Structure 1
């Protein structure tokens, strides 16, 4: 499984239609931000104007607490941004904290860059010019504290290098973002919109960093890279602080329920965020397939055969469905 969120493989292998499946393979919020009913018609019918995109950037800057000295750009998802980073950053060894989101490694190796994987950024290779860290990490939720990140950023800045942070899940872990604390360090921060707001299909993401680099990236994205609806919905959602507070509380509460359920079914939960739980068991692949036969799709990892990840089931009814499926699956293992 390269990514979660695509039921094509599940349906091809285990049958059923998309509506029959409970998809727990992603870390996307199942309680999506409501699409505004008064979305202006010209969001669909006219090309996006610069002033609308500036409003979006202003809303993102406030929500993510981006310092004024940093540039901030928007793109149709962070996936395209992370694939462009190897083309604008200086030569040198990249240290990638692993295991983590696989697309980062793929993007750098595709450009022929020298990459080493490290189990801990605290053992920073002396030759590393760029350090890439997902924080909180995906898939285990490991969190590196702000003070340590600043120290690493300062070390790399002295080397003429950069710290890249993928903060895709920071929205649901208050206090985890480095953005409010960046001063003159060479730091680039990716922020995903779709995961927390539950609108992955909208394709919207942001990158904050030194203005010379954000300007280079913006020029690569060219004109009209964002759709009108993405700009309008993104601006509205980012300004809605009340929804964000209430949703964060709801996700934390429902993750507590999911963690308890998994523990009751003898799965050892050892990582995660309020959007996904990572559990360990000896026969994780067999459990994944047993659940798939019951049209519940989870996430497993080739590099960690004892890991299985669960997204939030979306309500009490789906939580009970998962519980019943786990109980039945146990009888087959």
Structure 2
């Protein structure tokens, strides 16, 4: 089973993502301009940032500016403190760094276990380790999964794990190869990053399989299904991973539209890393900015790998302003929810069933999905198809001008 952005080889070759208008123009050379890109799930309403001073472009980023951004971001995302947060040039860069914290070829990393117990944060009640297995047992299998039953992804027994394995660089190791489990189907970069770190990767819809792995990865809300794993289950899984020196990565790239299930305030316990993307909710993916939230000891290791000036001056300027603008954030959540509802109505009028999604995108499942992809492409509208699931199509929110074109194209489908 491959992730929705598949197309990669098992050792991390190129992955086909959304947003490739150059490729779309080659596929549909007669399509009208300008193209409407609905393939990425990025907010069409970019944050209206204030003018950026010229010296921000001319000078290297100041450490004080980075510390200021970290403080604002920690508050916005609910992290215990700025020391629990690292900023980097997009979660695409942070993901392999985090996966690499647990060497896929070595014994369980002792530095990620034995961290202090979580302290209550923002009204969170103190959790004990007694809940770990019971919470997982209560809803171990995400049933019924919206993408259907069956498929690959169950861990082999311990004695079945390969003792001699080939790493991403072609070298061989005689150490036990460690297991990374990714809750799937989802964004393909997570499995790719784990493979590049030396893990044997399994993709599953089962929380107990995740708990049995050395590295567990969950995208929450999920891309492209929009499925949300309850916060209680994530915290229980984090307890399990921490107790054995493992690591849970929760990618909350689309959590800005609804913060209720975020586990960002629980990272101080260790065994948990939360990733947050700036570009999606704020409509500024080109700025390339993302955050990792974790125990300060883990953050130190991430920042060592990032090196100096990992975030550009313009990104520091814009994000510090946007993340502090709670009025814009609250208004935008309402706007996106209303526009997603309107998109649902347009899709329903074309006889298309919405399987899931978030306020930034919808996932359609229909036997005509490939035909719809071509039909919209011929009208200069790019959506996201999935070769391994040909009945699925992800459609992002259009801006005002694009909405009329999308609705008109759907009426002729």
Bin for the TM-score computed over the shorter chain:
over 0.9
List per-residue Cα deviations over 1:220-278 (Å, max 9, x = no partner).
Answer: 11111211111011101111111111111100110010011101111100100000000
What is the TM-score normalised by the length of structure 2? Answer: 0.76
1:69/1:59 CA distance change after superposition, 3 Å: closer
Please say if residues 280 and 306 of structure 1, whose CA atoms lie closer than 8 Å, have aligned partners that are also in contact. Answer: yes
CA-based RMSD: 1.7
Of 209, 214, 221, which residue of structure 2 is paired with 1:124? 209
1:191/1:125 CA distance change after superposition, 3 Å: closer
Equivalent residue of 1:194, what SS? Answer: coil
1:314 aligns to what?
Answer: 399
1:229/1:14 CA distance change after superposition, 3 Å: same
1:232 aligns to what?
Answer: 317
Please say if residues 11 and 18 of structure 1, whose CA atoms lie closer than 8 Å, have aligned partners that are also in contact. Answer: no
Of 154, 157, 171, which residue of structure 1 is paired with 2:239? 154
Q: Which stretch has the larger CA shift, 61-70 or 275-284?
A: 61-70
Give the superposition deviation at 1:17. 8.4
Of 331, 340, 345, which residue of structure 2 is paired with 1:260? 345
Please say if residues 300 and 307 of structure 1, whose CA atoms lie closer than 8 Å, have aligned partners that are also in contact. Answer: yes
Unaligned segments of structure 2, at least 5 residues: 6-15, 105-177
Equivalent residue of 1:218, what SS? Answer: helix
Of 254, 279, 283, which residue of structure 2 is paired with 1:169? 254
1:106 aligns to what?
Answer: 192
Please say if residues 76 and 205 of structure 1, whose CA atoms lie closer than 8 Å, have aligned partners that are also in contact. Answer: yes
1:10 aligns to what?
Answer: 24
Q: Which stretch has the larger CA shift, 2-11 or 110-119?
A: 110-119
Of 70, 94, 116, which residue of structure 1 is paired with 2:180? 94
Q: Which stretch has the larger CA shift, 84-93 or 97-106?
A: 84-93
- Equivalenced residue count is 326
2:37 aligns to what?
Answer: 23
Equivalent residue of 2:391, what SS? Answer: strand
Of 207, 214, 227, which residue of structure 2 is paired with 1:142? 227
What is the TM-score normalised by the length of structure 1? Answer: 0.94
Please say if residues 344 and 354 of structure 2, whose CA atoms lie closer than 8 Å, have aligned partners that are also in contact. Answer: yes
When you count helix as a share of all residues, which structure comes out higher? 1
Structure 1 segment 230-309 matched on structure 2, within 5 A: 230-309=315-394
Please say if residues 265 and 327 of structure 1, whose CA atoms lie closer than 8 Å, have aligned partners that are also in contact. Answer: yes
1:325 aligns to what?
Answer: 409
1:183/1:325 CA distance change after superposition, 3 Å: same
Give the superposition deviation at 1:40. 2.2
1:59 aligns to what?
Answer: 72
Cα distance in 1, alignment partners of residues 265 and 66 from structure 2: 22
Of 290, 314, 317, which residue of structure 2 is paired with 1:205? 290
Please say if residues 28 and 196 of structure 1, whose CA atoms lie closer than 8 Å, have aligned partners that are also in contact. Answer: yes
1:311/1:69 CA distance change after superposition, 3 Å: closer
Cα distance in 2, alignment partners of residues 25 and 243 from structure 1: 24
List per-residue Cα deviations over 1:78-118 (Å, max 9, x = no partner).
Answer: 10011222322244311111110011111111233111111
Give the superposition deviation at 1:51. 0.4
Cα distance in 2, alignment partners of residues 213 and 25 from structure 1: 34
Matched, 1:41 2:127: no
1:239/1:189 CA distance change after superposition, 3 Å: same
1:47/1:149 CA distance change after superposition, 3 Å: same
Structure whose alpha-carbon radius of gyration is higher: 2
List per-residue Cα deviations over 1:171-190 (Å, max 9, x = no partner).
Answer: 00231211124441411000
Q: Which stretch has the larger CA shift, 14-23 or 3-12?
A: 14-23
Give the superposition deviation at 1:34. 1.1
Cα distance in 2, alignment partners of residues 260 and 52 from structure 1: 44
Give the superposition deviation at 1:130. 1.4
Please say if residues 270 and 294 of structure 2, whose CA atoms lie closer than 8 Å, have aligned partners that are also in contact. Answer: no
